[in-house]
Amino acid sequence: MQEEMQIEVEVIEGVVLLVEQIKQMGLPGIIDEALGRHWKEKGLSWGWTIGIWLVHVISQGDHRKLPVRDWVRGLHDTLELAIGLEIRDTDFTDDRLTIALRHFNQDTVWHEIEQKLGRNLIRVYNLEKKTIRVDATTVSGYRDGEETTLWQFGHSKDNPALRQIKVMMATLDPLGFPIALEVVEGQRADDPLYVPVIKRVLLHLDQKGLLFVGDCKMSALATRAYVRASKDSIT
């Protein structure tokens, strides 16, 4: 009898490259250190769960949770070889990804990951410049909102009829490299958001003599006083 050969095809595209990039960033280990692991938990760690989900988001241009499980099934052998770990069918269910997101809802967890990841990545560059740009922007959309959600009505240059969230970001010139990110309710004013982000920048970079650049809303007395007290400059 002639033995039948079964061939399975997996279209890997740039998936392996993205997995290797995540390894070099040290992202899975940083997330695992911040979230920990219950002794009864089985399957992939949270670090690799989030890491592979990010690969899906980047490669597919889709941030939704629902398609991730089927996508992983289609690349199961490739992903297992790339990360060197066993992947179970239940590792990327909608419920498990929801639990992963809830962990990131804690500010202390998010700030710890942000700080360690930033230090990991910034070491790659020769940082001759000491200019940090701090600015806020809004993202609006057709969203249902309640008092406890981030999506709220606020001052908007786009469409005041839409709910929005506010994003405050500090980036390193001339790379445009993100150092600290804060996402808050859409009705919040910009002025009180500068000092918390600047504090995190100083913690991440651990150096003095930085120049913080922003718009006129960064000229609030409390912001200027804090930067002056930290022996940095503002413009």
What are the sequence ranges of the domains in the chain? 15-104, 127-234
Q: What is the pLDDT of residues 101-150, one digit of tens each?
A: 888 888 888 888 888 888 887 654 455 558 889 998 888 888 887 778 88
Q: Residue 207 is inside which H or E element, if any?
A: none
pLDDT attached to residue 29: 93
Percent of the chain exceeding pLDDT 70 equals 95
Amino acid code (one letter) for 75? L
CA distances, 149 to each of 110, 152, 153, 191 (Å): 18, 7, 11, 21
Half-sphere exposure of 92 (CA within 13 A, CB side): 28
CB 129 within 8 A of CB 205: no
* Average pLDDT taken over every residue of the chain: 86
Q: At residue 139, what are phi and psi to the nearest 5 degrees?
A: -125, 120
Q: What is the pLDDT of residues 181-199, one digit of tens each?
A: 888 888 888 888 999 999 9
Distance CA 200, CA 27 (A): 19
Amino acid code (one letter) for 118? G
User: Could you tell me which residue, 12 or 187, shows the higher pLDDT?
Assistant: 187
pLDDT attached to residue 126: 53
pLDDT attached to residue 82: 92
pLDDT attached to residue 124: 46
CB 169 within 8 A of CB 211: no
What is the average pLDDT across 10-24? Answer: 89
pLDDT attached to residue 92: 93
- Please count the helices (runs of H) and the strands (runs of E) in the chain: 9, 5
Amino acid code (one letter) for 117? L
Q: What is the greatest pairwise CA distance in the chain?
A: 86
pLDDT attached to residue 106: 84
Q: What is the pLDDT of residues 30-43, one digit of tens each?
A: 999 988 877 677 88
Q: Is the pTM of this model over 0.85?
A: no
Does residue 24 register a pLDDT over 70? yes
Q: Comparing C-alpha atoms, which of 112, 99, 107 is closest to residue 44? A: 99
